[in-house]
Structures are given as C-alpha cells and as structure tokens.
Amino acid sequence: MKPLIAANWKMHGDMSWRDKPAEFDKIIPRANRQNIDVLICPPTPFIAPMVLPAKRTDIWLGAQNCHAEQSGAHTGEVSAGMLKSVGANFVIVGHSERRAGGETDAGIAAKAQAVLAEGLTPIICVGESLKQREAGQANDVVSAQLAASIPHNADMKAVIIAYEPIWAIGTGKTATPADIKTLHAHIRKIVGRATRILYGGSVKPANAHSILSTPNVNGALIGGASLDMQSLAEITQAVA
C-alpha cells in the first residue's frame, strides 16, 4: 500500500504559498518519492492557483471540508463537485476541529458520500478525547465513529481513515508507538485490508520515523509541521 503524507494547512498561508510545491520538490525531487503519495490541503482559495505548481511536482491537492449537497442555498459553503472542478482530488471530512464545532458522524458520512460520488477520496477523521482515553474508551469511541461516519456500502479502497487522538493535535503530545499500534490494529480489523489508515497529531520530523514504521500506519496527516517545507520533506523522508 502506497504511503500518504498529507499536509493539512488549516487556516494558514497566502497566495505566495503556491510556490511551496516547488520548494518541497527542491528538497525531495519527485523522482525520489515515486513510492509515496504527497498531498497538500491548503485553504480552499489556494487550491486553484496551486494546481499547476502541484502538477509539475507530482503533489496531490485536497480540501479541508465540503458540504454534503451538490448545490443550493448554503451561504459560505462549497460542494465536493466544486472542489473537484478546481483541481482537488481529496477532501478531509470530520476533522476534530470541525467535530468540536458541532459536526456529527451522520453529517460526516453524508459529506464523505458526496466526496465519493464525485470520484474524489474522502479522508475521514476519527479520534478520542483525553477524557475518553483516560476512561479506557478509546477503542469504543473510534469504533462508533467509524461505524457511523463511513458511508454504507463505501468501497473501502476509495476511503482513507485518519486516526487523530484529539489530545495530540496541535499540543506537541504524540501518542506513544504502543498506543498507535493498538489503535491502528483495532481500526484495521474494522476497515479491512484495502484502506489506508493515517496517523495524525503532532507528527514532526523527530517522531515521524517511529510513527510511520508502526504496523498498520499507512501515512500521516500533518498540521503544524506541514507549514514548513523542510519539515514536511523530512517527515516524507522518514517513510520506512
């Protein structure tokens, strides 16, 4: 299974960041990463301007969210079809920062369904809170999220799961290799062999190798450390 190194830029950057793919490519030329998929999910306005720079450097582009419907009276929203039309191939759905704002598993499943209907790849995020982990509920929380946020009848080759323990996102705290191994094995049992499972939460060059060489970890979803191309490149180079 080809590993995926996915950058989630969140609400960072400006138009000058369209040059970041070229900057990344200088550090690791595409010939040296043919066995790894690299994806950047910039803020939506920068997707279209980045299409050419990303294509030239063999980097995929994705979005960080979409609406579940194709069109309609939804002020401020963007549909999966619109994202596809400007050049996105992947869409992150159900990130914990959005779940914290009220997104439900059912709503996330509807978004993932809309992404699949356009022939794009949803990256469905799951993960427990610190309170849930301390109560010994991490496996159960993740199972319930997977059951309710993966669309029924989805082709499991066509979806990607990102396991992101909420307490590890943007905090500098990373789950231990043992925690990651346990949770990823648990997710693997549920989703089967065909699905890529990413780990996310404070992934950085210093911990990337140990995380990426953990069984059932097929890549990483990276926030903070993905804003700097040198650190994104070092994480990419850490793929086992």
Contact footprint for ligand PGA (CB under 6 A): 8, 164, 169-170, 200-203, 221-225
How far is the C-alpha of 144 from the C-alpha of 112, rounded, in Å?
A: 16
Q: Which two tokens stand for residue 103?
A: 């997104």
List alpha helices for the chain, DSSP H: 20-27, 47-56, 80-86, 96-99, 105-117, 130-134, 138-149, 177-191, 205-212, 229-237
Shortest separation between residue 87's beta carbon and ligand PGA, angstroms: 21
Smaller CB separation from ligand PGA, 42 or 223: 223
- Which is catalytic among the residues 97, 118, 128, 164? 164
Q: Which is nearer to ligand PGA, 21 or 223 (CB)?
A: 223
Which lies closer to ligand PGA via its Cβ, residue 81 or residue 208?
A: 208
Compute the least distance from the CB of residue 153 to ligand PGA, in Å. 27
Query: Annotated catalytic residue: which of 95, 97, 128, 184?
Result: 95
Reported residue count of the chain is 240
Q: How far is the CB of 167 from ligand PGA (least distance, A)?
A: 10
Q: What values do phi and psi take at 62, rounded to 5? A: -145, 170
Residue whose CB is nearest to ligand PGA in the complex, by number: 223
Q: Residue 230 Cβ, how far from ligand PGA at the closest point, in Å?
A: 15
Instruction: Report the alpha-carbon distance of residue 204 to residue 83 in Å, rounded.
Output: 28
103: annotated active-site residue: no
Is 219 or 223 the residue whose CB approaches ligand PGA more closely?
A: 223
Hey, what are 193's tokens?
């062999």
Least CB distance to ligand PGA at residue 201 (A): 5
* Region of residue 116 (left: phi > 0; alpha: psi -120 to 50; beta: else): alpha
Which bin fits 125, alpha (ψ -120 to 50), beta or left (φ > 0)?
A: beta
Q: Is 134 a catalytic residue?
A: no
Of the pair 109, 232, the CB lying nearest ligand PGA is at 232
How does strand 4-8 pair with strand 196-200?
Answer: unpaired
Catalytic residues: 95, 164
